[in-house]
Amino acid sequence: VNVRVDGCDKAYLRRPISIHVVDYQNNTIDLLIQEKHEGTTKLCALPVGATVNVVLPLGNGFTMPEKDDNVLLVGGGIGIAPLLYFSRKIQSITLCKDAIHRVSFLLGGRTQSDLMLLDRFRNEGDVFITTNDGSMGEKGFVTEHSLWKTMKINKIYACGPMPMMKAVAKLAREILKGNTRQILRDMRAEMELLASELRFEEAEEVKQKYVALDTFVSKSEVVSHTINDVDVFSITNDEK
């Protein structure tokens, strides 16, 4: 939606805000707003019952997943805002079309304070966290989280800063091309470390995941990982 900011001389343009929650019974929407500059500060200071001028619906939507997809929703900073509503739309399709969708969230922020309303997300699916400073979840960027090594994902959706979305798209393309060599190397190193510490049961669990991923890669690689000047946009199946 685009929200007009009244009474603010420096906010000439409407502010684009993602829809966070839709309550169809009460005919209301929730907007998750980051109080950062004059315009958003003015919006956050509005009293309950104030009238707000909003233009909707606007923006680009998400393509809905296919039946039985394992869906990963990746959000960075205030980019987490539309993912909750999207996950609920996915679940509504699950109920209507007898599909099975497993939705997980990978949410990242600079610090713990950038991650808001996590209980809402946990009510919808598994939640994985990264922070740049390590104050919550795993330290690093969302593309560095350990779940990429183990989780089977059919669909990835991302919302957040442009550099983050480009990094997620690059990682997704590499996985689609079958280029999981770095992931396999990391898993092998983890397995050897656990074995050296006599943590054999944990090492065996990592080994099973390693073998499963290695087998999957050998059967599903569509472009050689050694080719650097091509890209994969989609795969079609001619089977009827």
CA-based nearest residue to 147, from 81, 213, 192, 232:
213
Task: Compute the C-alpha angle 132/135/139, nearest 5°.
Answer: 40
Task: Say what the pLDDT of residue 173 is.
Answer: 76
The pLDDT assigned to 216 comes to 64
Q: Give alpha helix (H) positions in 25-154.
A: 38-44, 81-97, 118-122, 147-150
pLDDT at residue number 120: 92
Per-residue pLDDT of the chain in tens (240 residues, 90 and over written 9): 999 999 887 888 888 899 999 999 999 999 998 888 888 899 999 998 899 999 988 887 788 887 777 889 999 988 999 999 999 988 887 655 555 567 899 999 999 988 989 999 999 999 999 999 999 999 889 988 888 877 777 789 999 988 899 889 888 877 666 666 767 777 788 788 888 888 888 888 878 877 877 776 665 555 455 545 555 554 455 554
Query: Which long-range CB contacts under 8 A does 47-51 form with residues at least 24 apart?
Result: none
- The residues, any chain, with a CB within 8 Å of residue 150's CB and separated by 6 or more, are 209, 213
Residue 110: which of 78, 85, 74 has the closest Cα?
Answer: 78
Judging by DSSP bridges, how do beta strands 155-159 and 70-76 pair with one another?
parallel
User: How many C-beta atoms surround the C-beta of residue 210 within 10 A?
Assistant: 19
User: Minimal CA–CA distance to 132: which of 124, 141, 123, 143?
Assistant: 141
For the chain, what is the radius of gyration of the CA atoms? Answer: 21
- pTM (2 decimals)? 0.72
Confidence (pLDDT) at 219: 58
- Looking at residue 74, its pLDDT comes to 95
CB 101 within 8 A of CB 69: yes
